[in-house]
Structure 1
């Protein structure tokens, strides 16, 4: 029996409505099937005068390190893959500076002594101010002494020390001054020199990780890391 043309048209539209979602699901599955599972191990992106490495471990921990001249940066945390993209998330950042406050009878009245326990070669990168809105381009002068790098300043009206190490930071560390102190000893904390990754993304290719923010920034697989390297990827105590 021959079907009316209107019925044929409606049945064809119904068939199309059923097939389109199925086709879409098939396309998504095909895309997922083409995704390459990231190979755990070390990936190298070193260039002339710059060393850069990313190591992925089977327990979904990672280490990233970069060295360029006097600049050394490091971070570690967790990684996961979603489809064709690898994401890195750093651990909770450790303190960038450790500050010890005390009262010292040898410090002149009305003064405050700041002692920086840094190598003197890093002194040009230290910026500190007693200001609510410090400038990253200015700092008080530092003096090299047998005890370290020091600065003798007037007791500040603004009771917060703002510290920046411009090699590593782009935001100031804020230390509120306890009452009555006239000496501060500032030393590098475990967080100094550490980057902070939050869903840092890389496209996964065969033996290659491609930075989504720069297609020229490629990490090439260089082999399995030594077993001892895993301890450096574990969270800090």
Structure 2
């Protein structure tokens, strides 16, 4: 009888609610798992600060985070698109300071190409286009974002385009069943080419 009751006791969950600290050199990270299935996450890494809240579940031996409500993705809006008399494509940002001194790089989709190309803009703002190539769409490149930003489709001919960055919910991590490996009381997240090990707070 006692043995039968013992066998019916469910195994304890691998992940315990509580506060998890993932801070390391030059990085501050914190993850709070609440008993009601909600979470709060924060990361500060160099010039990057992000946070998220939503729901967590444990499935297939991993912790999965999903941001709720779903954040609006960032995008580049077109401030102006005027014809260019020279037939070339000229691009600029409404706030060039956001490049912090770096050159402007565009993600360019050529007509008939299977994948986009990364093209650095000349100092005068002209986009160099190889002979025989036609630009079908383009968008400024911001490497900090893991997902590509929506591209702007071009009509044939010359263009003088000014882009404005609209962050929307910039700073909110858009987790969609983001997996964290479970290593005892430690949760392991891969983020921005870094491994963040969240250790459970003993308090």
Q: For residues 65-214 of structure 1, what are the structure 2 equivalents within 5 Å?
A: 65-81=42-58, 86-91=63-68, 92=70, 94-104=72-82, 109-116=86-93, 117=95, 119-122=97-100, 124=102, 127-132=105-110, 133-135=115-117, 138-141=119-122, 151-153=125-127, 157-169=134-146, 171-177=147-153, 179=155, 182-190=160-168, 192=170, 194=173, 196-203=175-182, 208-211=185-188
> How high is the TM-score relative to the length of structure 1?
0.56
Name the CA shift for 1:99/1:215 in 2 (closer, same or farther; >3 Å): closer
The answer on whether the counterparts of 1:37 and 1:204 sit within 8 Å (CA) in structure 2 is no
* Cα RMSD (Å): 4.3
- In structure 1, what is the Cα distance between the partners aligned to 2:60 and 2:148? 37
Please identify which structure carries the higher strand content.
2
Please identify which structure carries the higher helix content.
1
Gaps of 5+ in 2: none
Structure with bigger gyration radius:
1
